[in-house]
């Protein structure tokens, strides 16, 4: 019995179902429930835990179980996760009967799906969900980068989202390193790697992460790669040499305003053409910057996460439902120029430095009838009646049947927080044709209407929505337009 271990029992690097796993750091003994997947670095298993917590184990292949990887994991575990959105390493696991080592991380809930299911159109999220997910991705990477980390391998394969809410989870966190430390085994995933990594001039860093982020957002919102246009469809065999050219040595944005050589092919890149026509100009500009200046100048040309966050939220707030077909459309502020309304007020003070195009000139933005056409090809409705609230003449939120105002909408000094709802659109209890704004905050609103004396809306009361009334939320004032 005593000698058995050394004689006929070979070392193993895999677990089988039911096998026990001792997690010393957490003082837990778990069992393998199932193998969830196998990647280039190792295998991932779900665990049965005595306290019913949802945990997963990643066990490295022997060649990947390097000293360096061990060190990275150890420091990640010490630092703790930046937010619950990261499936962050919780504890190291070693086993005298297995080769190498592994680590424990939270197991993602089943509601989280791979973005590739969206790209294959096997799930059917809304614009609102996609924009929420993109916002959360930008916010999470901002948080990670601001702590001095670099993700190194940002790609669509490592991210998951809830197709009903847009909530996200970020996997493969075991490649995260301190920016600039040049540690770790990976250099990225092709198609997501910044050109300067492909050409061998750089190792992954936060600037290359920003490039990968822009590719990822483009994929999610345009269902196409930003560099896959005519130059891609003319390639017969998409192999490494052709990919190096397309994504590395000669990258051209498909909507490059100065170079049409890689414009989308109407057969293979139809999605890019369709979605390019749906999003407002102010939003598309960020992608143009990312893949023109951002390619030429990795240090200063790239779009920062905070810029993405602001633009994504503005886009989300500018969304309205077509009255005829229910499709989600976006109110493009550039049509004001078409109406000749643009020049009167460009001197708005930008108090929180969150400058962006949609916020400018908004006080002229009052007659918005018949300026946009629904993108739905079977609808093409041009008759939109859109109600919106303009807060402190700067922040516009379209009021739809399901709109909610959050604390950051009415208090510009605060960061984004989707857990604190201050107002919500509601239906009148007795009259379906009347809509109100329910006060879900704990402060009383003072409301000025044009002709009568000011009224007060107490918490949990609703205010009938009529044009030209102004609500004083405390720190800001919002005026309703229709």
Partner 1 sequence: MTLPGGEISKRELHFIWIVDCSGSMRDDGKIQSLNYAIREAIPHMQREAESNFQANLLVSALKFSTGAHWIIPPTDVNSFKWIDVEAKGHTDLGQALVLLSEILHIPPMTNRGLPPVLVLLSDGQPTDNFEDGLNKLLQEPWGKKAIRISIAIGEDANMKVLQQFIGSDERSPLLARNPEALSNYIRWVSTVVQSASARPRSQQKNDELHDSNVEIPKPPEMISTATDVW
Q: Pick the piece of the chain touching partner 1 (CB under 8 A) from 122-130, 289-297, 299-307, 416-424.
A: 122-130
Q: Which residues pair with 448 in a beta bridge?
A: 470
Q: How many residues make contact with partner 1 (CB under 8 A)?
A: 69
Nearer to partner 1, 191 or 409 (CB): 191
- Candidate residues 4, 7, 239, 430; the one interacting with partner 1 per rule CB under 8 A: 239
Q: Is 123 in the site for partner 1 (CB under 8 A)?
A: no
Q: Pick the piece of the chain touching partner 1 (CB under 8 A) from 50-58, 110-118, 312-320, 458-466.
A: 110-118
Nearer to partner 1, 98 or 336 (CB): 98
Return d(Cα 469, Cα 479) in angstroms, integer.
6
- For residue 194, the minimal CB distance to partner 1 (Å) is 12
Return d(Cα 184, Cα 176) in angstroms, integer.
8
- Candidate residues 50, 200, 257, 450; the one interacting with partner 1 per rule CB under 8 A: 200
Q: Which residues pair with 395 in a beta bridge?
A: 391
Q: Is 66 in the site for partner 1 (CB under 8 A)?
A: no
**Burial environment of residue 314 by CB neighbours within 10 A (0 to 12, 13 to 18, 19 or more):** buried
- Candidate residues 31, 46, 126, 461; the one interacting with partner 1 per rule CB under 8 A: 126
Nearer to partner 1, 183 or 408 (CB): 183
Q: In the block, which residue shows the tokens 């930046």?
A: 82
Residues 6+ apart with CB under 8 A from 103: 57, 58, 73, 77, 89, 90, 91, 92, 93, 174
Q: Is 187 in the site for partner 1 (CB under 8 A)?
A: yes
Return d(Cα 395, Cα 476) in angstroms, integer.
10
Nearer to partner 1, 157 or 426 (CB): 157
- Candidate residues 31, 46, 53, 157; the one interacting with partner 1 per rule CB under 8 A: 157
Residues 6+ apart with CB under 8 A from 424: 403, 404, 405, 437, 438, 440
- For residue 275, the minimal CB distance to partner 1 (Å) is 7
Q: How many CA atoms lie within 13 A of 179 on its CB side?
A: 14
Q: Is 185 in the site for partner 1 (CB under 8 A)?
A: yes
User: 266-285: which residues touch partner 1 (CB under 8 A)?
Assistant: 268-271, 274-275, 278
C-beta separation of 220 from 254 below 8 A: no
Phi-psi region of 238 (alpha: psi -120 to 50; beta: other; left: phi over 0): beta
What residues make contact with partner 1 under the rule CB under 8 A? 8-13, 38-41, 61-63, 99, 114, 116-117, 119-122, 124-127, 153, 155-157, 172, 175, 184-191, 193, 198, 200, 203, 223-224, 233, 235-241, 243-244, 268-271, 274-275, 278, 325-328, 375-377
């Amino acid at each position: 019995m005593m000698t058995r271990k050394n004689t006929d029992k070979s070392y193993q690097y895999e677990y089988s179902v039911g096998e026990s796993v001792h997690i010393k750091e957490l003082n837990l003994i778990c069992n393998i429930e199932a193998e969830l997947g196998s990647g280039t670095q190792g295998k991932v298993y779900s665990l049965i835990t005595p306290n019913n917590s949802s945990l997963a184990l990643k066990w490295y292949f022997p060649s990947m179980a390097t000293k360096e990887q061990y060190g990275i994991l150890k420091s990640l575990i010490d630092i703790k996760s930046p937010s619950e959105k990261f499936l962050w390493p919780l504890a190291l696991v070693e086993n005298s009967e297995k080769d190498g080592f592994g680590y424990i991380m939270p197991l993602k809930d089943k509601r989280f799906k791979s973005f590739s299911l969206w790209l294959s159109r096997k799930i059917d999220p809304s614009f609102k969900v996609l924009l929420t997910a993109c916002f959360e991705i930008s916010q999470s990477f901002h948080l990670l980068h601001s702590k001095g980390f670099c993700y190194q391998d940002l790609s669509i394969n490592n991210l998951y989202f809830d197709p009903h809410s847009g909530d996200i989870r970020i996997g493969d966190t075991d490649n995260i390193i301190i920016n600039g430390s040049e540690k770790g085994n990976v250099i990225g995933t092709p198609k997501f790697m910044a050109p300067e990594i492909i050409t061998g001039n750089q190792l992954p860093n936060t600037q290359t992460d920003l490039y990968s982020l822009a590719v990822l957002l483009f994929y999610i919102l345009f269902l196409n790669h930003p560099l896959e246009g005519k130059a891609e469809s003319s390639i017969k065999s998409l192999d490494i040499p052709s990919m190096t050219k397309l994504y590395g040595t000669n990258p051209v944005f498909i909507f490059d305003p100065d170079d049409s050589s890689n414009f989308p092919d109407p057969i293979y890149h139809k999605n890019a053409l369709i979605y390019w026509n749906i999003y407002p100009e102010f939003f598309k500009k960020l992608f143009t910057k990312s893949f023109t200046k951002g390619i030429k100048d990795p240090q200063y040309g790239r779009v920062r996460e905070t810029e993405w966050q602001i633009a994504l939220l503005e886009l989300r707030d500018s969304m309205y439902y077509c009255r005829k077909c229910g499709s989600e459309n976006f109110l493009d502020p550039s049509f004001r120029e078409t109406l000749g309304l643009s020049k009167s007020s460009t001197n708005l003070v930008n108090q929180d430095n969150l400058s962006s195009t949609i916020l400018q000139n908004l006080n002229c933005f009052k007659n918005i009838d018949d300026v946009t056409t629904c993108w739905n090809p079977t609808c093409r409705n041009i008759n939109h009646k859109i109600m919106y609230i303009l807060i402190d003449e700067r922040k516009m939120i379209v009021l739809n049947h399901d709109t909610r105002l959050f604390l950051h909408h009415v208090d510009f000094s605060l960061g984004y927080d989707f857990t604190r709802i201050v107002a919500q659109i509601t239906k009148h209890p007795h009259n379906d044709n009347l809509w109100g704004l329910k006060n879900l905050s704990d402060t009383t609103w003072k409301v000025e209407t044009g002709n009568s004396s000011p009224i007060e809306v107490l918490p949990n009361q609703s205010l009938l929505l009529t044009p030209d009334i102004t609500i004083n939320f405390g720190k800001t004032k919002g005026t309703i337009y229709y």
